[in-house]
Structure 1
Amino acid sequence: MFTNNKLSKAVRLAVAFGAASTAVFTGAVVAQEAEEAKEVERIEVTGSRIKRTDIETASPIQITSAEEIKAAGYTRIEDMLNSLPQIEASSTAFTANGTSGTATLDLRGIGANRTLVLVNGRRLQPGGLYSSSADVNQIPAALVERVEILTGGGSATYGADAVAGVVNFVMKDDFEGVELNAGYSGYQHKNDNSFIQSKMDAAGYDYETGNSGLDGKSKSLDLTVGGAFDGGKGHATAYASWRQVDEMLQKERDYASCALAAGTGNCGGSFTNAIPNFDIYPIFNGETDFNQNAFWTIEDNGGTTQFSEDVGVYNFAPVNHFMRPDDRFTLGSFVRYELNEHANVYTEVSYMNNRTIGQIAESGLFFEPFVFDADAAVFSDAQRDQLAAAFPGADQYSISIAKRNVEGGGRTANLEHNSFRIVTGMDGMINDTWSYDVSYQYGSASSSDAYKNDFYINYAGTRVGAAGEEECVGDCIPYKVFEFGGVTPEAAAQMAGAAIATGFTTQKVFNAFVTGETGWTVPGHSLPVAAVIGVEKRDVFFDRTVDTIYAEGALSGQGGPTLDLQGGYKVEEVFGELSVPLVEDVAVAENITLELGGRYSDYSTSGGENAFKTAIDWSVNSEWKLRASYNKAVRAPNVAELFASQGLGLWSGSDPCAGDDPSLSQAECANTGVTAAQYGNITPSAASQYNQIAGGNPELTPEVGKTLTVGIVGNPFENFNFSIDYWNIELSDVISALDPEETITQCGKTGIAAYCSLVNRAPSGSLWLSDDGFVTATNQNLGNEHYRGIDLSMNYSMDVGPGTLSTSLLGSYNMKKFFDPLPGVDGTSYDCSGLISTKCFPQPEWRHTMSFNYTTGGDWTAGAKWRYFGAVEFDGTSRNVLIGDEIEGVSFFDVVGSYALTENVSVQLGVNNVFDREPPLVGSTLANTNTIAGYWDLLGRYVHMNVTARF
């Protein structure tokens, strides 16, 4: 092993700005890391298994320190990371409808399943029942030393899934002493949005006003203990953490208290109303006449119930969770012991229990169709007369009932996850220049979902009095939908159904590699070629078991069956890397190093695949550095994509042939199965949800991603440094399902059978009023995607008064976010850069985080942060009066301060979103909560406090 002056310069340069902080809330973080780096001769950095003398690689790496995580005040690690410009919000605590209960990370918006999550350089297992991505709930924030984000392909080093990049959580496995952290936080907001309050006044809805007080409160407690043993041969770190988060409902914020209709800006709702609505068709001699129709509700007329055309909608928003309640407990340990000078054994053990509940609006009869005799006793005399007048001669009626079960309360998904992970291995020096590492890891996640208080549809026919059903007598309580106020809480309770699903996933990984210096040198360079060669074997298995109620789709609020899922795959791999020093001490290069890497993977499901990387690391001098890399990455289809049973579910969007003014012409809609009589008369879904048949495909092949990065790192003058990196990611053979709305549109415009065969309209023409209408959208290797942009990082510090003021800027300029789901088909591709739409998560062209920190090196520090989300234009086929042409840029400002009460005790106070900036409103078509969950600050001002005692 060696050091020399040139490499020491590289260390200073790399530490100073290649791994610049995203928010410099702690004084002298860069200087401290620089000093620590000088003391370490060889370290392993995310993106390579070759141990280096600096922490900068040819691929850009962004580092977030433990101090920054703590200063942000979040109890959930994903909330902190989602504030970085390179990460797009994925599954978060602000998701209730259809939540998996997990927390995932999504680099560049390319997909959480294309972002590889590591802990100490090793894979984190898939998260649970409904997600194949890693659940970062397993990560105890208080024990994170730093987070290293490699924003580029990493498959050559780590295997599949690192298409968008790698997020590596480096843990404090060498902790000394005892540390106890106690945290308390909550949200505060002034409900004074006059726009939406006027809309709710017009609709007659209730809402909160004035100061909310502190709500959505969170409490946390973290204990870390560590130290050496056996004369310093061994070291152990152990931790335990607890977190509790209170629920928040949408009704607690005025701007989310009703579902805003994008086209009008008014409060909308669901036709499945507390006072039932009915879609009625006559039946003559057993044949339903779909050309005759009445859409009615009921009203009370002097004690007698009659039908009415004054159809109402239900405001479902207030009941939904805005933020899910959460209880989490984690514990674990890191132990390392030196057997001799050539062998060290180590173990990592972690366990997590997480319980959360996702509540959404009440269930009910969602236009469930039943047949009623014309003289049925459930009708009042007035109703029979109205039906007879509207449909003369009909002997029966097909009536789709839309009744919100408000008497029974909201639906809740009660989710629990138990994750366990153990890593054991041995590493050490073979000789002075070569080392080895052999490890085996086992990770599992067991999870359960008890879905409660939904509407058990199998009882409905009897209780509503449909023709051919058993009579509701004895303990059976009729569900009197045709009687005004006829449904009682007791009747609702008998309709309450529950379904249970359990899941278990395992990931087993054997990894072994050797790394060191070969002794070969390129003529003219003093440093030898370094290499890695290794093997890896992974075994992934997933099993989801559901009860009969889930499997039959017997709960009306589920949108279709949830089916068993079982499957897995194995992969055997060989990988290698080379670091080849090429040039040193010439006019324009202090050092140039070529980095090469490759991996061959043999999948049990799809056969052989290869990945590779090529990179150049060019140190012009101690102040300037150039870098470039090219990667080929792969992502193998996960278990759900391969083996999920095909079944009925929901998709969000719009039917271009529904409504009184369809966006497609009559001839185009005819291609999708709409008759001339139905055109302009198909009722659109008020909830913007339609039926689809979705599921897996065992014939899928891996996706392929190719990533190019080119960057410059500079230190043009003292105390200032920057890095600029251009990145370009192209994906092919993308695994996805064809967007149902796009399928309908292409069928209408082209008439091509490949599209039209996927559109199956019910006899009424609807794609949502009954299970007979749906769009088929199963998984396929379909299209291409292309992402391109520039990342910028800058840091500057200067002396101000008795202390130092440090500033940093981390920004990302998005140039392209292009989707081509059907290559070669005109009009199907689109670019989401700078846009928001039903297809596009809001992707500003520019987004940044700018931080300021002041420290005296004494008892206190103070900091501020500016988080900016650039403007996005609206790109949609329908009008959105809430957005207009664009959403203007949004800024949020945070402040934080810390003070050392004693030598061992410190306190931190902070406020995020100081000015209580509300998120932009986009309406219910684009978001369930009227705004984008997990992206902009959702709940108002966030106040946090943390007390740390260390001994």
Structure 2
Amino acid sequence: MLNNKVSKAVRLAIAFGAVSTAAFSASSFAAEEKDGVEKVERIQVTGSRIKRTDLETSSPVTVMTAEEIKLSGFTRVEDILNQLPQIEAAESSFLANGATGTATVDLRGLGSNRTLVLINGRRMQAGSITSQVADINQIPSSLIKRVDVLTGGAAAVYGADAVAGVVNFVMDDQFEGISLNVGTSGYQHNNDNKYIQGLMDEKGFEYDTGSTGIDGKSYSIDFTVGGGFDGSKGHAVGYVTYNRQTELLQGSRDYSSCALNGAGQSCGGSGTTPNPFFDIYPVVDGEVDYKQNFYGYLDPNGTGFREDDGYRYNYAPVNHFLRPNERFTLGTFIDYEINETFRPYLEFSFMHNRTAGQIAESGTFYNEEILFDYNNPLLSDAQKQQLQGLFSQDGTDQFVAYIGKRNVEGGPRSDNLEHSSYRILTGMEGELSDNWSYDVSYNYSATTSSSVYKNDLLSPKIAPRVGAVGTECDEADGCLYYNVFELGGVTPEQAAQLAGVGTQTGLVTQVIYSGYISGEFDWTLPTASLPIGAVFGVERREQDYERVSDTVYEEGQLLGQGGPSPSLYGAIDVNEVYGELQIPVLDELNVSAAARWSDYSTTGSDTTYSIGVDYTLADTYKFRTSFAKVVRAPNVGELFAAQSIGLWSGADGCAGDPTAADAADRPAYSASQCANAGVNDSQYGSIGESPAGQYNQLSGGNPALQPEEGETLTIGLVASPFENFNFSVDYFKIEIEKVIGTVGAERILNNCAETGDEFFCNNITRSPSGSLWLGQAGFVTNLSDNIGGRTWEGIDATAAYSMDLENASLKFDINGYYSMKKEVEPILGDSTLAYDCAGNINTDCFASPKWRHTANVNYIRDDWRVGAKWRYYGGIDYDGTADASLIENGGIGSYSFIDLSGSYSINEHVTFTGGMNNIFDKEPPMVGNTIASNANTVAGFYDTLGRFIHMSVNLKF
């Protein structure tokens, strides 16, 4: 039999290490019987490189098994992980405007850049030219054996970025046989939301009603083959997968068929409409008089202008709710034992992914101040007379105008995104002695990607084609005037002359040289029976990042981009030395420690460390605690990105008319407060709100950045008080200083207005009209720096119980997360600016319930099983001021989603799996445009599209 202590440790680790479905698979540990003696295999688990026989760890690890993944019906890995309460939605297929085309993981809501993603314990490379973090699209869901989520800092074990923790995808590299899996899925919803339908009726907007049928369909084919060769000395696994996701537009759901305004109480939309809008100011004595202005659009019933009466364009229906996607992956895992001291191995993977983010038509977007005179050939006589009368001018005078015209004649914009990534890992491992082994590897991974932005309007072409002073448009040479001064005067041919294409391409590479030895010393402490284990290793990482923008992107010529998108070049190298110790002090008490010294080419050297203790009481209760110092080094984008004008979503508290009858239309701040924020007396009361809730900011990199530094603490209890039942409760606290981030453009505005502090006010630049969105002369400077702090506290709780029935079994489990604190300090040490996102949502806080859980019940009998899952999201408070609907409703109420799934094996070769998620077709909570990430929702977090129906068949031989 196994050593009694080892047996107990293994039993406890299995009970305590897993949470979501109950246990490690049998292949997680092994005991080989030879000559009547069982040989215990040393294995390595997430959170340590020490190979031991006991699986013990002082850090909590959440495990999601292959079976749970299969029953979820999802083939997109980000959808699979977003079911875990510890994960917040990051980049996903439910984002369109500004999407990177990648899928990322955000553990604890601390950001994807503070979550380290591994494959078989080794880190992934950056995912694309627009993302600095790993793209989990590269991972074939059908070959995942399990997903280990290590919560708490792990920088000493795995290096920088593991601040929130680690997500380790353990692949089935020992697969045996041939497997073919074919699946399909789709969404169904009943469009019967009377609230938003009423809002659209008020605006005269069209929308769909009734059942959508099955839409947003997905198709997948996964083929895997594996087995031993050369007398079982070697083993090889190969796989090929294909997945195709069809698109869904926001017009497919009534609750997303119009864009809610910031208050969330009416269908908003864009002031850039198919009918041209104008913000016009007279030129007096050669200077623009910003005290006088006219804001309105072409009169549909006449030949002049009509003052703005709230007419807006409903841009929502043509936007993507779910992006189309086509993904192909292939790869192999090969290992071969020449002898016990030399076992070479190879991992290779390749992915090609294509997607497109479609958003509403481009437009002129009030991008620049254009000078006109009254000899303009496009102005009608009625328009000339109207403006001259309004501004007391004559035919020799001039005026300036900002023009907003939606390019409906040219069709929607589309960002076509492609990624090709490959990863080659080769190395060797073997036994140095009975107790010590080595592992040496070379890891090269690269991602090439491109962004081709189509059908946007080019800013340099606008002024000549609207007859601006000092420009020429010679119709004899084929130049067509862009006839914005006539209702319906713009033709597709005119629009085509303004359209352009912007292209970005690039290459991201990562090279890792790694080597370590792992084993056990020949001696033990006098008080313990197990020896001391250790790891000693070295590692070098080389990261190169290149993004090349064409001239169109470099100069910010595309009007729908909000500003330039410059090229980006950078490289980071790091050399590291690390070690781990696991010290059995007593048979029931273990102490573990790890340390890592890192020397960065960009920020110099740093040291991280961790220490953990676990104590087992009566073979049933295990107490564990760990403490770690963690770091996150600034990435290439944070260091080297060019500073440029872009957009932020929110509100300008100085915009609005103080005499307006509706309080929502008045400025949030007084004239004196707005004077702090750069608004003079003539501007106050005449600054318009951005209809789309988007304003300008100057953002970019900072080469003087230093690493973030943090400390993590976990304290937990895991127990199996009686047979077939186990539970765990773990408290964690994460404190981070020198946080790389920005104060936030809206926070800068608000704090300047309220305090007059020069630290904030010096970062506000108003345009001559006082606007922060008309043109690009007005903006908020919002650059990155090591200025912030974060303090996160919470509790993870899990439980699992199984019972045997007659010829069947019944299993229950629950995985919950309670968020106690998510305190953000925009400026470290300034408590007046600190805010807590736990249980709150606003422009600074992601939707973060204090309590969230998933609970499963599964009935398993012979060749079939059925299961139900309850996914619960606690209520969330709203402490903002813009979203009146959330204020009235007291925030977002609690949400429950119920999923059903099942599988049936006809025989040992054929298995059918199917199910329905969100069986009651519950809609996601609707929020206004200052909160929504897409389509009036927190997209990808709550169930976004209604019921999800899936089915698949697996053939295995």
TM-score range normalised by the length of the shorter chain: over 0.9
Give 1:285 deviation, angstroms: 2.9
The change in CA–CA distance for 1:415 and 1:932 in structure 2 (over 3 A counts) is same
Cα contact 2:792–2:823 (8 A) shared by 1 = yes
The change in CA–CA distance for 1:802 and 1:339 in structure 2 (over 3 A counts) is closer
The change in CA–CA distance for 1:300 and 1:842 in structure 2 (over 3 A counts) is closer
Cα contact 2:262–2:693 (8 A) shared by 1 = no
Q: 1:940 aligns with which of 937, 946, 952?
A: 946
Residue 323 of structure 1 corresponds to 322
Taking the aligned partners of 1:803 and 1:702, their CA distance within structure 2 comes to: 54
Residue 621 of structure 1 corresponds to 618
Question: 178-187 or 453-462: which moved more?
Answer: 453-462
Question: 437-446 or 306-315: which moved more?
Answer: 306-315
Residue 400 of structure 1 corresponds to 402
Residue 760 of structure 1 corresponds to 765
The change in CA–CA distance for 1:634 and 1:824 in structure 2 (over 3 A counts) is closer
- Scaled by the length of structure 1, the TM-score of the pair is 0.97
Residue 111 of structure 1 corresponds to 111
Partner secondary structure for residue 494 of structure 2: helix
Partner secondary structure for residue 926 of structure 2: coil
Residue 465 of structure 2 corresponds to 463
Residue 445 of structure 2 corresponds to 443
Give 1:286 deviation, angstroms: 1.9
Does 1:641 find its partner at 2:638?
yes
Partner secondary structure for residue 515 of structure 1: strand
Between the two proteins, what is the percent identity of the paired residues? 53
Q: 1:541 aligns with which of 541, 544, 547?
A: 544
Residue 13 of structure 1 corresponds to 12
Q: 1:854 aligns with which of 852, 859, 868?
A: 859
Give 1:751 deviation, angstroms: 2.5
Q: 1:712 aligns with which of 709, 717, 735?
A: 717
Partner secondary structure for residue 667 of structure 2: coil
Partner secondary structure for residue 951 of structure 2: strand
State the AA in 1 paired with 2:346.
T
Question: 464-473 or 813-822: which moved more?
Answer: 464-473
Question: 474-483 or 889-898: which moved more?
Answer: 474-483
Give 1:759 deviation, angstroms: 0.6
State the AA in 2 paired with 1:109.
G
How do 1:889-908 residues align onto structure 2 when only pairs under 5 Å count? 889-908=894-913
Cα contact 1:298–1:484 (8 A) shared by 2 = yes
Question: 874-883 or 661-670: which moved more?
Answer: 874-883
Taking the aligned partners of 1:161 and 1:809, their CA distance within structure 2 comes to: 29
Question: 376-385 or 546-555: which moved more?
Answer: 376-385
Residues 76-135 of structure 1, C-alpha deviation per residue, up to 9 Å, x if partnerless? 011010110000000000010100100000000000000000001101111001000000
Does 1:921 find its partner at 2:926?
yes
Q: What value does the CA root-mean-square deviation take over the aligned residues?
A: 1.5
Partner secondary structure for residue 366 of structure 2: strand
Does 1:788 find its partner at 2:793?
yes
Residue 871 of structure 1 corresponds to 875
Cα contact 1:11–1:37 (8 A) shared by 2 = no
Partner secondary structure for residue 750 of structure 2: helix
Residues 29-65 of structure 1, C-alpha deviation per residue, up to 9 Å, x if partnerless? 6685688579853110111000122334100001111
Question: 901-910 or 116-125: which moved more?
Answer: 901-910
Cα contact 2:473–2:481 (8 A) shared by 1 = no
Give 1:495 deviation, angstroms: 1.4
Partner secondary structure for residue 359 of structure 1: strand
- Hey, which bits of structure 1, 4+ residues long, moved more than 3 A? 29-40, 304-311
State the AA in 2 paired with 1:89.
A
Residues 847-890 of structure 1, C-alpha deviation per residue, up to 9 Å, x if partnerless? 0000010011x121101100000000111033421452121110
Give 1:748 deviation, angstroms: 2.2
Cα contact 1:220–1:242 (8 A) shared by 2 = yes
Residues 762-812 of structure 1, C-alpha deviation per residue, up to 9 Å, x if partnerless? 010001101100111111001110000000010011123431110000000
State the AA in 2 paired with 1:380.
S
The change in CA–CA distance for 1:810 and 1:33 in structure 2 (over 3 A counts) is farther
The change in CA–CA distance for 1:358 and 1:309 in structure 2 (over 3 A counts) is closer
Residue 133 of structure 2 corresponds to 133
Taking the aligned partners of 1:814 and 1:826, their CA distance within structure 2 comes to: 20
Taking the aligned partners of 1:119 and 1:608, their CA distance within structure 2 comes to: 26
Residue 513 of structure 1 corresponds to 516
Give 1:264 deviation, angstroms: 5.7
Q: 2:690 aligns with which of 685, 688, 693?
A: 685
Taking the aligned partners of 2:54 and 2:402, their CA distance within structure 1 comes to: 68
Residue 93 of structure 1 corresponds to 93
Taking the aligned partners of 1:840 and 1:347, their CA distance within structure 2 comes to: 43
Taking the aligned partners of 2:264 and 2:515, their CA distance within structure 1 comes to: 61
Taking the aligned partners of 2:438 and 2:26, their CA distance within structure 1 comes to: 29
Give 1:601 deviation, angstroms: 0.2
Residue 240 of structure 1 corresponds to 240
State the AA in 2 paired with 1:894.
D
Question: 430-439 or 516-525: which moved more?
Answer: 516-525
Give 1:694 deviation, angstroms: 0.7
Residues 825-852 of structure 1, C-alpha deviation per residue, up to 9 Å, x if partnerless? 3531100011111111011110000001
The change in CA–CA distance for 1:716 and 1:297 in structure 2 (over 3 A counts) is same
Give 1:306 deviation, angstroms: 4.4
Cα contact 1:850–1:866 (8 A) shared by 2 = yes
The change in CA–CA distance for 1:906 and 1:317 in structure 2 (over 3 A counts) is same
Residue 351 of structure 1 corresponds to 350
State the AA in 1 paired with 2:814.
L
How do 1:879-894 residues align onto structure 2 when only pairs under 5 Å count? 879-882=883-886, 884-894=889-899
Taking the aligned partners of 1:560 and 1:536, their CA distance within structure 2 comes to: 40
Taking the aligned partners of 1:11 and 1:435, their CA distance within structure 2 comes to: 21
Give 1:341 deviation, angstroms: 1.7
Taking the aligned partners of 2:908 and 2:528, their CA distance within structure 1 comes to: 50
Give 1:13 deviation, angstroms: 1.7
Cα contact 1:179–1:950 (8 A) shared by 2 = yes
Residues 870-927 of structure 1, C-alpha deviation per residue, up to 9 Å, x if partnerless? 0001110334214521211100000011111232011111000001000011122211
- Scaled by the length of structure 2, the TM-score of the pair is 0.96
Residues 409-458 of structure 1, C-alpha deviation per residue, up to 9 Å, x if partnerless? 11100000000100000001100000000011001000000000001111
Residue 802 of structure 1 corresponds to 807
Partner secondary structure for residue 385 of structure 1: helix
Partner secondary structure for residue 574 of structure 2: strand
Residues 286-327 of structure 1, C-alpha deviation per residue, up to 9 Å, x if partnerless? 21000001111112446x454454452111111110000000
How do 1:50-449 residues align onto structure 2 when only pairs under 5 Å count? 50-263=50-263, 265-301=265-301, 304-310=303-309, 312-368=311-367, 369-393=369-393, 395-449=397-451
Partner secondary structure for residue 640 of structure 1: helix
State the AA in 2 paired with 1:615.
G
Taking the aligned partners of 1:240 and 1:456, their CA distance within structure 2 comes to: 42
Taking the aligned partners of 1:688 and 1:327, their CA distance within structure 2 comes to: 32
Partner secondary structure for residue 881 of structure 1: helix
Cα contact 2:304–2:386 (8 A) shared by 1 = no
Does 1:502 find its partner at 2:505?
yes
Residue 587 of structure 1 corresponds to none
State the AA in 1 paired with 2:95.
T
Residue 485 of structure 1 corresponds to 488
Residues 540-570 of structure 1, C-alpha deviation per residue, up to 9 Å, x if partnerless? 1100000000011011100000001001111
Residue 525 of structure 2 corresponds to 522
Give 1:23 deviation, angstroms: 4.0
Taking the aligned partners of 2:751 and 2:297, their CA distance within structure 1 comes to: 36
State the AA in 2 paired with 1:947.
V
Taking the aligned partners of 1:799 and 1:462, their CA distance within structure 2 comes to: 80
Give 1:192 deviation, angstroms: 0.5
Cα contact 2:883–2:928 (8 A) shared by 1 = no
State the AA in 2 paired with 1:152.
G
State the AA in 1 paired with 2:641.
A
Q: When the two structures are aligned, how many residues end up with a matched partner?
A: 937
Cα contact 1:242–1:328 (8 A) shared by 2 = yes
Taking the aligned partners of 1:683 and 1:62, their CA distance within structure 2 comes to: 50
The change in CA–CA distance for 1:849 and 1:37 in structure 2 (over 3 A counts) is farther
Partner secondary structure for residue 553 of structure 2: helix
State the AA in 2 paired with 1:268.
G
Cα contact 1:23–1:849 (8 A) shared by 2 = no
Cα contact 2:29–2:41 (8 A) shared by 1 = no
Question: 446-455 or 669-678: which moved more?
Answer: 669-678
Q: Where in structure 2 are there 5+ consecutive unaligned residues?
A: 33-38, 658-665
Taking the aligned partners of 2:25 and 2:541, their CA distance within structure 1 comes to: 40
State the AA in 2 paired with 1:480.
N
